[in-house]
Amino acid sequence: MPIFWFMHSAEADESVILVDAADRPIGSAPKLDVHRDGRLHRAFSVFVFDPRGRLLLQRRALGKYHSGGLWSNTCCGHPRPGETTAAAAVRRLQEEMGFGCSLQPAGTIVYRAALAEGLWEHEYDHLFTGRYNGDPRPDPSEVAEWRWVEMNDLLRELGDRPSSFTVWFEPALREVLQRIAA
């Protein structure tokens, strides 16, 4: 049975914002349809650090329709039609990880990658960073587990086991790290 059959019906019906190469909205479509045909759409990835500079990672729940069980950034998602990307990032951080914090824009990346079950990611991904000092209270339907990780350990792990991470994580992380260093 294909992975996407396990998607919650509300998640399957949720629409995403289709964009052109300059991130201008050109329409909307159901999220699953967009991931089936690989159309470019708007997304966001949130990277939350603690006061020690450790990054909060999540391992996606096994029931997610793609990339289940893989490690990724603190949270990610798609703005809904009519919703700003920044507001969507704040919303999803609360929904997925059970906390909120101030988020700052940290650049964008565009990527296209094949996923399992014939699905595609083709995203204009807006990156955000934040600071938080505490433990998350994640939604178990979204997050299997979480951990704070030192950057040197994370970079070593990415080099040793890249297939343990989502396809967007490394390019997004590299952009965030360049922005932080600048």
Tokens 């909307």 found at: 28
pLDDT surpassing 50 at residue 5: no
The pLDDT of residue 13 is 65
**Tens-place pLDDT, residues 55-67:** 999 999 888 878 7
The per-residue pLDDT for 11 is 54
Q: What is the DSSP string of 18-66?
A: EE-TT--EEEEEEHHHHHHHT--EEEEEEEEE-TTS-EEEEEEPTTSSS
- Alpha-carbon gap, residue 169 to 46, rounded angstroms: 10
Domain count for the chain: 1
Q: How far apart are CA 19 and CA 175, in angstroms?
A: 21
Q: Is the pLDDT of residue 17 over 70?
A: yes
Two tokens, residue 130: 């934040």
Mean pLDDT value of segment 13-27: 94
Q: Print the domain residue range for 36.
A: 3-181
Report helix, strand or coil for 75: strand
Please report, for the domain that includes residue 68, its CATH number. 3.90.79.10
Of 76, 101, 121, 175, the active-site residue reads 76
Q: What is the mean pLDDT of residues 92-107?
A: 97
Give the residue among 65, 75, 71, 80 at the shortest CA–CA distance from 98: 75
Mean pLDDT of 89-101: 97
Catalytic residue among 121, 123, 142, 175: 123
pLDDT of residue 180: 85
Q: Which two tokens stand for residue 100?
A: 């909120």
2, pLDDT greater than 70? no
- What percent of the chain stands above pLDDT 70? 93
pLDDT class of 136 with cuts at 50, 70, 90 = very high
Q: Which of 8-22, 42-56, 157-171 has the lowest mean pLDDT?
A: 8-22
The neighbour count for residue 131, using CB atoms within 10 Å, is 13
Active site residue 75: no
Q: How confident is the model at residue 125 (pLDDT cuts 50, 70, 90)?
A: very high
Confidence of residue 7 (pLDDT cuts 50, 70, 90): very low
pLDDT at position 128 over 60: yes
